[in-house]
Amino acid sequence: MTIGPITLSMIEQARQRIASSVLRTPIVRLNFDNAPGEIWLKLENLQPTGSFKVRGASNALALAGDEAKKRGVYTVSAGNMAQALAWRAKTLGIRCRVIVPDNAPRTKLDAIKRYGAEIVQTSFDQVWNVVVNHRYPALEDSIFIHPFADPRMIAGNGTIGLEILEDHPGVESVIIPFGGGGLSTGVAAAIRSRRDDVRVYACEPETAAPLAASFAKGSAQEIHRVPSFVDGAGGKSVLPEMWSLAKSLLQGSITVTLRETAAAVKLLIERNRIVAEGAGATSVAAALTGGTKSHKIVCVVSGGNIDSSVLIRIIQDETP
C-alpha cells in the first residue's frame, strides 16, 4: 500500500469536519526549572476518550459516510484507537468492532466496552498481522479503519500541528510519540506545510524503537519488541508506507528508557497535575534528554489512559 502526501488542504478540511467533535487542547508549560529549555505540553490526554485518536477517528468516520452506517466499522488497536472509534461510532449509531491485543490495559478494555464496541481479543502477533495486512477476514463484512496508516487518520491528527503553530508560534522543536506513525507524520505534515524551520522529532521507548532503527539503516526495519507499560508506542516494525512519510517529514527518533518514561509520568503529576500514559510521557522524557538542542519545545502528550495499578507503582518510584 502507498500513502500519498498529506496536504495542508486535507488537514484544514479535516479540522472543519471534526470541529464539533473534538477539543482544541491547551498548551501549558512544564513546571520544571531544570529542563534543558522551555518545555511546553500539548495536552491530548484531555480529549473525550483520553487520547489524540478522536481526531483521526472522527475524520475517518465522517468521510466513510452512509456506507459505514450500512456495514459497520472495525479497527485494530492497543486501546486508544478502539476507544476513539467506538466513542464516535456510538454517537453516530454505527456498529463498531475492535481487535485488541491480549496485553491491553484493563482501563482501556473497560472503556471500549463502555462505548458499546464489540471486542475481539488476540495475541500481539496476530494483531500486528492485521496492522500489516489491513484486513481481518472474519470481519470483512465491515469497513476497516486502520489505526494509523490511513490518510483520513493522518489528516485528522495533523490538526494538532495547526493548533501548535497558532497557539505557540515561537516553537522551535516538536516531539511526538511514535507508535505506528499516524500521529507524528500528520503533525509534521501540518507544521512543515507552514513552517520549514520547526524541527519535528518522533520518540520511542528503547524496548520497542523500530523508527530509530529505520533511520539508522535508512530503510523500514523490523525489530525485537519487548512489551512494557508503554503499550501505546513502539511496534514490531515500521510499515513501508509509513516509512515513506516519516523519512521525509521527521528529523529522527529520540529513544528513552522505561525508567526515564516512568520518571516523566511522575513529574507530570507532581509538577503540573497531569496524568499521562506511558506513551504520552515519552515525549516529555525525550525533551528532558536535551536531544533536540532547542530552547522552545512542544511535547505532544498523546494520551492519559493508564492503569491505576501502573500509576501507583510509578508514584512509588518503581518502573513497572
Residue spans of the domains in the chain: they are 8-51+151-315, 54-144
Grid cell for residue 79: 486501546
pTM for the model: 0.95
Candidates 3.30.9.10, 3.40.30.120, 3.40.50.1100, 3.40.1160.10; correct CATH number of 54-144?
A: 3.40.50.1100
CB atoms inside a 10 Å sphere around CB 211: 33
| pLDDT at residue 303, rounded to an integer | 97
Q: Fold match between 8-51+151-315 and 54-144?
A: yes
As a whole number of angstroms, the distance between CA 293 and CA 96 comes to: 44
As a whole number of angstroms, the distance between CA 60 and CA 222 comes to: 28
Strand 38-43 to 27-29 pairing = antiparallel
- What are the tens digits of pLDDT across the range 204-248? 999 999 999 999 999 999 999 998 999 888 788 999 999 999 999
| pLDDT at residue 78, rounded to an integer | 66
At the second CATH level, the architecture of 8-51+151-315 is 3-Layer(aba) Sandwich (3.40)
Q: What are phi and psi of 234, to 5 degrees?
A: 85, 115
CB 27 within 8 A of CB 40: yes
| pLDDT at residue 86, rounded to an integer | 96
Report residues of the chain scoring pLDDT below 70: 78
Q: What are phi and psi of 171, to 5 degrees?
A: -60, 140
- What are the tens digits of pLDDT across the range 273-300? 999 999 999 999 999 999 999 999 999 9
User: Residue 76 in 3-state DSSP?
Assistant: strand
Grid cell for residue 261: 518514561
